[in-house]
Structures are given as structure tokens and as C-alpha cells.
Amino acid sequence: MKLNSNIQNLNDFFTKKTIGGEASINDLRDKEFSGAHMSAEEKRALQNYDNYRISLLNAQDSDEAFHKAYRQLQVIANLGDWKEFLKADYSK
């Protein structure tokens, strides 16, 4: 049981919220996978991000451009505020 407690403490330590940052798309994805309740806005932000990601990656015309866009999307998903994807620019 102590091991599980330590793992939970590590998970808490590495969330942006506990270190003063904003929650990211990947934080929402973790929340979704864990089965935690998500607000309608959080679900919409995930959907908007996924649509944006697919559109951006499909628009690339070379392997190099694709991989560059993919890496940029990883940074956005890890570090960006999820609320960015509630903006009309990312909605269909």
C-alpha cells in the first residue's frame, strides 16, 4: 500500500496545477482516461484539439513537415492551457 501512496504523490507532484501552471490538453486526456468527471467545456476542448491536430497533420506535404508539426503539437498538448481550444478558431 505504501508504494501506491508514493505513486499517487508522484502523480500529484507532476501535475501542472500543483506547481502553479495551467492544466493542459494532456492533463485533460489523463482525466478522461482515469474515468474522472469532465465538464462539457473540457470535452469540447479535447474534441477541438483532436480535430485541429488531424487537420494540421493532414495538411503537411512532406515527412519533414509532418514530423515538425507533430513535435509542435506534442509541446502544445503538454504545456498549453487547454482553454485555448475553446476559442472559435478551433471549433467547427
Contact 79, 24 (CB under 8 A): yes
Which stretch of 11-20, 28-37, 59-68 has the lowest confidence by average pLDDT?
A: 11-20
What is the C-alpha R_g of the chain? 15
Name the domain count of the chain.
1
Note down the domain range covering 67: 22-90
Give per-residue pLDDT as tens, 19-49.
Answer: 557 899 999 999 999 999 999 999 999 999 9
pLDDT at 2: 44
- In a domain, residue 12? The reply is no
pLDDT surpassing 90 at residue 51:
yes
pLDDT at 22: 84
- In a domain, residue 4? The reply is no
